[in-house]
């Protein structure tokens, strides 16, 4: 079961260390021949791709926006499973084995890992607990939980919408509405809390919550994206 890892980036200065860690994990699990990695750069100058050098990963350019970037990477890759990974999210050591074990159950169409933030603080731990409770109850994880899905299901649903924000929420909600079984794994990824710490945990959390509520109320994503940028995103 080949896994295609698709990583959308935009002016990501830490890409080399991130990819070194990811490649090391494929070696630890002895799955380097069964995992392909594609970096999709949404910046016009493609500066993140220039930083990669001769690392054994595929490189693509795309219009900006995670939805468009992830669709571009999925189309160009050949794995039976698509793993959408943010460049500030670190997988657990046995991530690829866990994905394969999960998808050996033919009734499962996709899923995601549980969430943890680094560094850990009491405030972030509380937010993480709430986020994990929400995703387990709704079966609608977010992109920073490393979403994975069978390629056949991704193609059946015509991929992600090329919207400027909430592309992960929209896709996973659509997956559920079509009756697909989604599993949230107990093992957590480690996602950088740099944005929360920079903006303020409370402010960042309340802003994101408000944006999600507005999305569910039918506010167009282009307007939400403007609000996100205006309020520090």
Query: CA 122 to CA 218: how far, in whole Å?
Result: 33
Confidence (pLDDT) at 93: 87
Distances (CA, A) of 15 to 20, 49, 112, 168: 9, 9, 22, 22
Q: Is the pLDDT of residue 233 over 60?
A: no
Mean pLDDT of 134-156: 96
* Bridge partner residues of 112 (DSSP): 184
Q: How far apart are the first and last CA of the chain?
A: 37
Q: Could you tell me if 153 and 181 are in contact, meaning their C-beta atoms sit under 8 angstroms apart?
A: no
Give start-end residues of each CATH 3.90.550.10 domain in the chain: 3-192
CA angle 220, 222, 224 (to 5 degrees): 75
Q: Could you tell me if 116 and 146 are in contact, meaning their C-beta atoms sit under 8 angstroms apart?
A: no
Domain covering 3-192: architecture: Alpha-Beta Complex (3.90)
**What's the token pair of residue 31?**
């799955």
Q: Is the pLDDT of residue 28 over 90?
A: no
pTM: 0.93
Contacts of 56 (CB under 8 A, 6+ apart): 23, 37
Contacts of 197 (CB under 8 A, 6+ apart): 119
């Amino acid at each position: 079961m080949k896994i295609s890892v698709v990583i959308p980036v935009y002016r990501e200065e830490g890409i080399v260390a991130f990819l070194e860690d990811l490649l090391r994990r494929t070696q630890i699990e002895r799955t380097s021949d069964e995992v392909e990695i594609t970096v999709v750069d949404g910046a016009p100058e493609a500066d993140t791709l220039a930083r990669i050098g001769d690392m054994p990963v595929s490189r693509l350019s795309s219009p900006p926006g995670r939805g468009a970037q992830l669709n571009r990477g999925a189309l160009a890759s050949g794995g039976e499973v698509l793993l959408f990974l943010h460049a500030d999210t670190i997988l657990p050591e046995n991530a690829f084995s866990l994905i394969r074990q999960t998808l050996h159950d033919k009734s499962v169409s996709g899923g995601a890992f549980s969430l943890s933030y680094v560094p850990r603080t009491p405030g972030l731990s509380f937010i993480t607990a709430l986020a994990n409770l929400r995703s387990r109850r709704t079966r609608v994880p977010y992109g920073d939980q490393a979403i994975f899905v069978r390629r056949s299901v991704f193609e059946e649903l015509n991929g992600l919408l090329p919207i400027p924000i909430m592309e992960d929420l929209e896709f996973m909600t659509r997956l559920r509405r079509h009756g697909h079984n989604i599993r949230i794994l107990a093992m957590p990824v480690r996602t950088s809390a740099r944005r929360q710490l920079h903006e303020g945990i409370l402010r960042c959390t309340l802003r994101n919550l408000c944006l999600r509520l507005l999305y569910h109320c039918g506010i167009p994503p282009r307007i939400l994206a403007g609000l996100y940028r205006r309020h520090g995103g």
